[in-house]
Amino acid sequence: MKGIGYEMDELTREALADVAAAGTAADLKEVEVRWLGKKGRVTALLKELSALPPEDRKARGQQLNALKREVEAAVEARGREVERLEAEAAAARERPDVTLPGTPVRAGRLHPLTIVTEEIVDLFERMGFHVLDYPEAESEFFNFDGLNIPGDHPARDMQDTFYLADGNLMRTHTSPGQVRSMRDLDPPYRAIFPGRVYRCEATDASHEHTFYQVEGIMIDRHVSVAHMLHSMMSLLEGVFRRKVEVRLRPGYFPFVEPGFELDLRCTVCEGAGCPVCKRSGWVELLPCGLVHPNVIRAGGLDPGEWEGWAFGLGLSRLVMMRYRIDDIRWLLSGDLRLVRQF
């Protein structure tokens, strides 16, 4: 048995030396196969056990199994060490040169709609207006009935309105904020409601199915058209940073009486005529008027005590006029070339 033990010690030292000498994962795999694989040295010795005398077979088998477990443990431990060394080597190779210039990061840009909306909000907040946000999915009451729009009005037709399966609709204007604000706020008050609106209509240079508006309202005991015009002119001069040419003409809207249209001289063509202004030189921008008594009643107030004015600014068109954009469809196109100009 002394000879067998001496031989096993030599095999163990040789196997562990081979494992320790493996410098890479590939080298270690090769060592593992050489000693423990199907044709490995330990496997071959185990197959020879059947040829030994019965009295030597047990002791020899125990020694070989012990050798096998020791080599397996050594391979596992060396594998962790090799993995750590290879990771350190890779990190050293890939360590960045901090003296090199950094990768340039392209700064983002605000959309022109966002820029103008923020300017309008800031302007009206300084004038003492609340800034409110109301749902884009509306009921027929707030979008039509409460605004004195009769059931047979063309605006309620399917060709103009996106109706939802639950009986509601996508708001066609920001005017529902008039009735909602009267129910939410105690008069007297003044407020604006910027937001997105939807209409089922054909698109062209000045019309989109999805666009933006800003509704403004003032409720008080003594309100006049002069108050309304002052607020609207303050709005336009604040956005354009100069006096602009406008015209005021009569207009019919069910929720105001009297009603007006405030048009802006087209800045795209300077009044010469273009697709944006329909060759007229003017852009319909600010429908407005004194709030109809029926709307005040729908808001839960007494029209004998309270009066109001309201306007509905075409925010998308205002952005076009501000930046001389000749097609409203650019605003929601998602084309980054537009945004990068601002």
Query: What CA–CA distance (Å, rounded) separates 229 from 288?
Result: 9
186 pLDDT band, cuts 50/70/90, is: very high
Count of other CB atoms within 10 angstroms of residue 206: 22
pLDDT higher than threshold 80 for residue 7 = no
72 pLDDT band, cuts 50/70/90, is: confident
pLDDT higher than threshold 50 for residue 206 = yes
Tokens matching residue 185: 């706020």
Decide if 25 contacts 31 (C-beta within 8 A): no
> What pLDDT shows up at residue 171?
94
For residues 64-74, average pLDDT? 84
For residues 231-246, average pLDDT? 88
Q: How many residues appear in the chain?
A: 342
Q: What type of residue is 24?
A: T
Give me the residue spans of the domains in the chain.
2-94, 112-339
CATH T-level assignment (fold) for domain 112-339? BirA Bifunctional Protein; domain 2 (3.30.930)
pLDDT higher than threshold 60 for residue 3 = no
pLDDT, the chain, mean? 87
Q: What type of residue is 333?
A: S
186: Cβ contacts below 8 Å, ≥ 6 apart: none
For residues 169-176, average pLDDT? 94
pLDDT, tens digit (0-9, with 9 covering 90-100), for 301-332: 999 999 999 999 889 988 988 898 888 888 98
> What pLDDT shows up at residue 159?
66
Give the distance, in angstroms, between the CA of residue 321 and the centroid of all CA atoms in the same chain: 26
183 pLDDT band, cuts 50/70/90, is: very high
The pTM is what?
Answer: 0.66
Tell me the residue ranges of DSSP E strands in the chain: 130-131, 137-138, 169-170, 189-198, 210-220, 246-250, 256-265, 282-291, 307-314
3-class secondary-structure state, position 285 = strand
Decide if 209 contacts 230 (C-beta within 8 A): no
